[in-house]
Amino acid sequence: MMTATRMRVILTTCGTGECRQWGGGYNGSSEFACKPIPVAQAARMKTPCRSLGVLRIGSVCRSLSQERPGLRVRWPKHYGVQVMRAKWSIFGAALMAASLLVGCQSQDGRATSNDVDRVAVDVEGRQPDPWWDPTRPDRRARAIREPAPAEPAPIVSDGRGSVSAAYPTGDPRTSAILVEKFFPLTVNAGAPFDYEIRVTNLTSLDLDNVQVWDNVPNNFRLESSDPNADSTSGNNLMWMLGSMGPREIKTIHVRGSAPAEGTITACAKVAYDTSLCNEITVVQPALSLAVEMTPEVTICQPITIKYTVCNKGSGPATNVVVNKTLPDGLTVNGSREVRFTVDRLAAGECRDFAVQAQAGKTGTFSVDGTATAEPGLSSQAAAVETVVRQPALTIALECPGRILAGQSVPEVPITLTVENTGDTVSANTVIEAPVPAGASFIRASDNGVNAGGTVRWEIGSLAVGAKRTVSFSVQPGERGTVNATGRVVGECANAATAQCSTEVLGIPAVLLEVIDVEDPVRVGTTVVYRITVTNQGSARDTNIRVAATLEDEAEYVSASGQHTTSGNTITFASVPVLNAKEQVTFEVVVRAVKAGDVRFAVQLNTDELGRPVQETEATNFYE
């Protein structure tokens, strides 16, 4: 029966910024010391196990598992009972050391148990550990058995071992990647053997740039690997596994040999990049604006202006504004400003806006528009044009300048001519002419109708440049001026008016009469001469002037009305107007002073006569 070997348990922990080493006796000695050591020193340990959850026993690394609370060590089976007991005692010492570690680190305030990221347990004996002596296979513990490889491998071993570590927490439930190594426990010097490194992505995400290193000792010669090692620099074998999908497993198969007997300590490490990916949909709204407008209207018709703003992009456009200042001559509700707003315009959505504009003048008008929106969008609509047309009507009246009326007044003809000088048809064209005041309607051409004292012609459409002539006749009620007016209107055309006048003139016909009241006249007595001026014509006479001349046989005594005398001439004050059929009378009283055949001469003139009228009355003076 074998006796238990006295051993020490050394627990090395590395946390944030430093490492601590714990050591104590076994087999009855339970003192432990808390001794800080530099990280660099811990890294130079004879057989460092740099991965969290790795237990080093002598010169061999064994993995720890934290699948349940506490540590569970995968130990090789041993045939010695006392050694088995020693195994569990060693494990207990490790757990005790770990517990003390928590208290020690917490007391000095440098770190807590949460700061421990690497644990190595050294089990050292005063004598060479018979467990790991390759010359004593009959005393080695049995490792966890793996199924034999499909192809025979030249390995001398009575079993296979494995180690594993989960990164970065040591707990596969909270770690990203798991590295496992499967290897023979014993091999023959110079004989090739195989081992595997299995890498598992524990997450539901992709791991990128996965790299595995295996630090092998000088007593190892690499023969091959699958996949091939990307680097074999020094004692480091490195494989670049690239990206690993969720839960993906990749295995590295390594074949090598040990040229000399001893111990092969190979420590693997892994590096990877984690990617936290999210998906952002990138959209780009695209604003477009188009404008449509009635291409041609008359000035009395509204102009429809329609704006269509669209979002032809892939994202929404917000705070959309369409605006336009209309050109001079176009207004909407009295304003030239046009503005529309849309709070949100979804991708692919269009909105229409229409206004009714009114033209204040004819011509060609160009209209465009601008749309803006967030974020930083704008669109300029291509300009469209509309032509505003209007019929333009003119009217001209013709009538005689004057007519002479004798005993009766003749009718007065009046002619009306209208023309469309605009650029579009005048529809529903109407000519109207009131009957002149004091005149009577006689007749009208072209079906003109006198209704209510107005003669009316409905001539319908009047094409551009077309003319139309109508006429009517009236009978003046008296001599004088006949004033005629005419008016033409059409659809969307401004009314036009015109007028003409006819002077109805009478014929001057003045009658001058001179008589002596008695004849013969005895010398020394007086006699009365009566002068009568009568307008027998149809026109009035104006500025009637009468003068009488006496011979030497007669002497002036008196005269009627206003008058003046100069020698033998008596001049009466002029009469301003003598209308047709009117008369005016003047009287002169003279004394016969000498017998004889005496003449009384009278001269009459008016503005209408142009030359004087003379009349003489003979009187016999006797003694």
Name the residue among 319, 322, 310 with its Cα closest to residue 355.
322
Which residues constitute the domain of residue 381?
287-388
The answer on 517 and 501 residing in a single domain is no
Tokens of 310: 């669209």
Which pLDDT value is given to residue 580? 82
The answer on 340 and 400 residing in a single domain is no
Sheet holding 554-559, edge to edge: 510-516, 526-535, 583-592, 554-559
Please check the confidence at residue 19 and state whether its pLDDT lies above 90: no
Q: Is residue 282 part of a domain?
A: no
When pLDDT is averaged across residues 488-508 and rounded to a whole number, the result is 91
Which pLDDT value is given to residue 579? 87
When pLDDT is averaged across residues 507-518 and rounded to a whole number, the result is 90
At 418, which amino acid appears? Answer: V
The answer on 467 and 577 residing in a single domain is no
Last residue within a domain, chosen from 506, 532, 554: 506
Tokens of 171: 């707990």
Residue 431: give its domain's CATH number: 2.60.40.1530
The answer on 108 and 41 residing in a single domain is yes
Please check the confidence at residue 467 and state whether its pLDDT lies above 90: yes
Report the range out of 19-23, 65-69, 133-137 with the highest average pLDDT: 19-23
At 243, which amino acid appears? Answer: S
pLDDT tens figures, 359-369: 999 999 999 99
Which pLDDT value is given to residue 281? 87
270 close to 210: Cβ distance less than 8 angstroms: yes
Of the listed ranges 155-169, 389-403, 569-583, the one predicted with least confidence:
155-169
Q: Is residue 279 part of a domain?
A: no
Please check the confidence at residue 516 and state whether its pLDDT lies above 80: yes
CA 318 and chain centroid, separation: 9
Write down the mean pLDDT value for the chain.
79
Which pLDDT value is given to residue 539? 77
Residue 311: give its domain's CATH number: 2.60.40.10
Please check the confidence at residue 17 and state whether its pLDDT lies above 70: no
Which pLDDT value is given to residue 32? 37
When pLDDT is averaged across residues 138-163 and rounded to a whole number, the result is 49
- Distance, CA of 261 to CA of 259 (rounded, Å): 7
The answer on 424 and 486 residing in a single domain is yes
pLDDT tens figures, 280-331: 889 999 999 999 999 999 999 999 999 999 999 999 999 999 999 999 999 9
The answer on 152 and 111 residing in a single domain is no
The answer on 226 and 207 residing in a single domain is yes
Of the listed ranges 18-22, 188-192, 314-318, 574-578, the one predicted with least confidence:
18-22
Please check the confidence at residue 138 and state whether its pLDDT lies above 70: no
- Distance, CA of 588 to CA of 586 (rounded, Å): 7
Q: How confident is the model at residue 158 (pLDDT cuts 50, 70, 90)?
A: low
How many domains would you assign to the chain?
5
The answer on 337 and 242 residing in a single domain is no
Note the pTM of the prediction, 2 decimals. Answer: 0.49
The answer on 122 and 43 residing in a single domain is yes
Please check the confidence at residue 266 and state whether its pLDDT lies above 50: yes
The answer on 603 and 537 residing in a single domain is yes
Which pLDDT value is given to residue 456? 97
Q: Is residue 194 part of a domain?
A: yes
- Distance, CA of 372 to CA of 350 (rounded, Å): 14
Please check the confidence at residue 10 and state whether its pLDDT lies above 90: no
Which pLDDT value is given to residue 93? 37
Which pLDDT value is given to residue 153? 40
Q: Is residue 218 part of a domain?
A: yes
Q: Is residue 135 part of a domain?
A: no
At 481, which amino acid appears? Answer: T
Q: Is residue 537 part of a domain?
A: yes
Which pLDDT value is given to residue 395? 97
Residue 583: give its domain's CATH number: 2.60.40.740
532 close to 585: Cβ distance less than 8 angstroms: yes
Which pLDDT value is given to residue 11? 46
Q: How confident is the model at residue 514 (pLDDT cuts 50, 70, 90)?
A: very high
The answer on 398 and 374 residing in a single domain is no
Q: Is residue 499 part of a domain?
A: yes
Q: How confident is the model at residue 356 (pLDDT cuts 50, 70, 90)?
A: very high
Cα torsion through 109, 113, 118, 124, rounded to 10: 90
**How crowded is residue 24: how many other Cβ atoms within 10 Å of its Cβ?**
17
Last residue within a domain, chosen from 455, 474, 506: 506
Non-local CB neighbours of 128 within 8 Å, separated by 6+ positions: none
When pLDDT is averaged across residues 323-344 and rounded to a whole number, the result is 95
The answer on 515 and 615 residing in a single domain is yes
Q: Is residue 1 part of a domain?
A: no
At 50, which amino acid appears? Answer: R
At 79, which amino acid appears? Answer: Y
- The residue ranking higher by pLDDT, 61 or 270, is 270
Residue 62 main-chain phi, psi, to 5 deg? -125, 145
Last residue within a domain, chosen from 327, 355, 388: 388
